[in-house]
Structure 1
Amino acid sequence: MTRPLRFGVVAPLRTDLPTWLAQVRRIADSGYSTLLMPDFPLLQPAPGPTLATAAALTDLRVGTWVYASPLRPAWLTAWEAHSLSQLTDGRFELGIGTGRPGIDDELRDKGMPAVPPRERLARIRETVRRLRDFDGPDRHTPVAMAVRGPKARALAAEAADTVTFVQAPDESRTEVTRLARDLRAVRDVELANAVSVIGDRVAPHMAPPDTDTAAARAADSLVTLPEDPAAAAEEIQRRREEIGFSYFVIGADFADTFAPVVAKLGGR
């Protein structure tokens, strides 16, 4: 099945509130489907209330990109996700992963115990189980998982609605293409391509600021897209046809310049 294209924007609140709210309105008016928030405690307001604010302001879908499972108990994440699904009338998507590099140091800084990798994955499984219990038979909160290793991919094939693959900026598309095909051979899930580099610009909170953009392009990495809208649109369609990606996620700093691509391809 060929899924319609949709586009999401990772838009942390890094400015004053009126400026961010104006940005949210522009994102909605430009045809993007989803507003997403990263999980960086203390660097921004908490994702839950921030996303609820955006959903009340616009008709955008909203979601986390992505909750780090070690930062909170499974039942708490599930309860918050179910609550957001209720408050947004079904427009919330729970994005969750095992945590970004350096998460153990972050846990120690916050006085929390380190969480072994195996337990992080088990916590994601438990979060989804509890979310389904909270939702009951009449609601289904979509779950997006950021995965890489075989155990994480197996869990995503079992329980996720959307899957994105964690990848290094200079990783070639060959291995990611293999991962995508293997996953879709098990189950037809939505595949999301997180694009952290457009041209020579790097999206904050999606990749390190010192990312070597030239090396990423030279590797034909899937974290990059051309700055030219026509070339970007062509590459997006190629990735859908050849790999199966139908959901493309970019940083908020790119949202205005990328809007012509969304206008051309959104919903196709």
Structure 2
Amino acid sequence: MFAVSAPGEWSTAARRAEELGYDVLLIPDHLGLPAPFPALVAAGAATSLRLGTFVLNAAFHNPVLLAREVATTDVLTAGRLELGVGTGYVAEEFTAAGIPFGTARDRVDTLERVIDAVYGVLGDPASAPQPVQRPVPLVIGCNGNRMLTLAARRANIAAFTGASSDPANPTNLRLLSGAAFAERIAFFEKVAGDRAGEVERNLLFQDVAVTDDQEAALAAWASRLPYLSAEEIPTVPALLVGSVEQIADQVRGLRERFGITYFTVLQPALEAFAPVIAALRRD
């Protein structure tokens, strides 16, 4: 997942991601960061990667205008776009944009309306421009029951956050233990029913620490995760800690245990995770 820098640096970074073996380049949607769609088009001109928003704050976008952005970007990238959407969770960004933050229920309601409207326009043969993909893959960021239900019913890709909001500060995230994450996967599979095997599953890794001293690296995380026990920290799915082969085994385990086949790392981990990609491609 990338943030945009200067034009030359951006194209270079996108090409570097492709060289390292990544398949998809994703752009977040936060105030203070560049607009996602122009950045994706620029990356698409420099690489053959698939491209996506990860994820758009639905409240920030007029759905009719968003549909135009999506269709145009899909055309300009030759059908490589993934549309990732979510509710937004940073109250200060809503305030800065002059948009009511509302309750979590309000924000999910908004997201559902935006999805319906955007795909209504994209599916209308009279609308222009027409996207290349039919449909443009829909990615929904999810963890809570209602978002998991929405992803189970509507998404092509369910993007599991591997974290929940901190009750004391909703802007902060609390990483889920392996047991808590397993419960979220089980809930998703239950509400998805027959679709459970059709929806691809994504997980965002919050940190990748390649080290020969796995024990010490995990111990360093203890002070940052006071809500988890020492026994739970090594089970956190959103953390990858250890040697290249240990991390590759963790990724394999997530695939086998939870059915996750699409993994996302943050830009600072771009180089560190590349040997893991190489190890996994040898399977």
Residue 16 of structure 2 is aligned to residue 17 of structure 1: no
Q: TM-score if structure 1 supplies the norm length?
A: 0.83
Q: State how far apart, in whole Å, the 1-side matches of 2:264 and 2:223 are.
A: 20
Indicate the structure (1 or 2) with the bigger Cα radius of gyration. Answer: 2
SS at match of 1:226: strand
Amino acid in the other structure paired with 1:225? L
Alpha-carbon distance in structure 2 between the residues aligned to 1:214 and 1:153: 24
Instruction: Tell whether 2:251 aligns with 1:246.
Output: no
Deviations 1:43-100 (A, max 9, x none): 2221110011001110001111111112222333333222222221211001111112
Aligned-pair distance for 1:134?
3.1
Q: 1:225, CA displacement in angstroms?
A: 0.4
**Residue 262 of structure 1: CA displacement?**
1.2
- Give the corresponding residue for 2:249: 234
**1:190 matched residue in structure 2:** 200
- 1:221 corresponds to which of 236, 246, 263: 236
Q: How does 1:155-170 map to 2 (within 5 A)?
A: 155-166=150-161, 167=163, 168-170=173-175
Structure 1 gap segments, 5+ residues each:
1-9, 202-209
State the superposition RMSD in angstroms. 2.5
Identity of aligned residues (%): 27
Partner of 1:5: none
Instruction: Give yes or no for contact 1:144–1:162 (8 Å, CA) kept in 2.
Output: yes
Q: 1:169 to 1:114 in 2, by over 3 A?
A: closer
CA contact (8 A) 1:70 1:115 kept: no
Residues 93 and 142 in structure 1, CA contact (< 8 A), matched pair in contact too: yes
In the TM superposition, residue 255 of structure 1 has moved relative to its aligned partner by 1.1
- CA deviation map 1:168-221 (0-9, x unaligned): 4442111211221332342221111110111289xxxxxxxx995576785221
Q: How many angstroms apart in 2 are the aligned matches of 1:44 and 1:250?
A: 18
Distance between the aligned counterparts of 1:152 and 1:214, measured in 2? 24
Please give the alpha-carbon distance, in whole angstroms, between the structure 2 residues aligned to 1:116 and 1:73. 19
Query: Which amino acid letter does the alignment assign opposite residue 249 of structure 2?
Result: E
Count of matched residue pairs: 247
Q: Matches of 2:118 and 2:92 in 1, distance apart?
A: 28
SS at match of 2:67: helix
**2:92: which partner in 1?**
105
**CA distance in 2: counterparts of 1:90 and 1:212, whole angstroms:** 44
Change (3 A) 1:29 1:212: farther
Residue in 1 that maps onto 2:113: 126
2:242 and 2:7 map into 1 onto residues whose CA distance is: 28
